[in-house]
Amino acid sequence: MADLLDDAAIDAALQGLPDWARDGETLVRTYQRRDWLDAIALLDAVAPEAERRNHHPDVSITGYRNITFRLTTHSKGGITNRDVDLATWIEELAARET
């Protein structure tokens, strides 16, 4: 099981994820997609990988095309490498699907 990352490790991880931010004990990123269907398509693409990893982000869609992913390791009560790894995977996927 992954250990909690300290502040320095989280800051270092975010250097490689410049569009992601820390919100307390959560990593957060909002993507603005072309439209509602494109936002849903991104979620549909992330869902199987999140399920495979057994690491599920909190997700919201607002303004019909803005999809926000919030990552935290609930069992640890904060941010772990599992969150950083999934954020990196989502970022790479979203870049390919733009």
Tell me the per-residue pLDDT of 38-60, one tens digit each, with 9 for 90 and over. Answer: 999 999 999 999 999 999 999 99
What does the domain layout of the chain look like in residue ranges? 7-96
- Mean pLDDT value across residues 14-33: 98
- Assigned CATH class of 7-96: alpha beta
The whole-angstrom separation of Cα 98 and Cα 90 is 12
Per-residue pLDDT tens over the stretch 66-86: 999 999 999 999 999 999 999
Place of tokens 């919100």: 23
The whole-angstrom separation of Cα 50 and Cα 32 is 20
Which residue in 18, 66, 25, 67 sits closest to 47, CA to CA? Answer: 67
- Report the residue count for the chain: 98
Q: What pLDDT score was predicted for residue 2?
A: 83
Please determine, for residue 98, whether its predicted confidence score (pLDDT) is greater than 90: no
Q: What pLDDT score was predicted for residue 1?
A: 61
Instruction: Give Cα 1 to chain centroid, integer Å.
Output: 19
Q: Do residues 38 and 63 lie in contact, with contact meaning Cβ atoms separated by under 8 Å?
A: no
Token pair of 58 as six digits: 């909190």
Token pair of 35 as six digits: 């439209």
- Mean pLDDT value across residues 10-22: 98
What is the enclosing helix (H) or strand (E) of 47?
helix 36-53
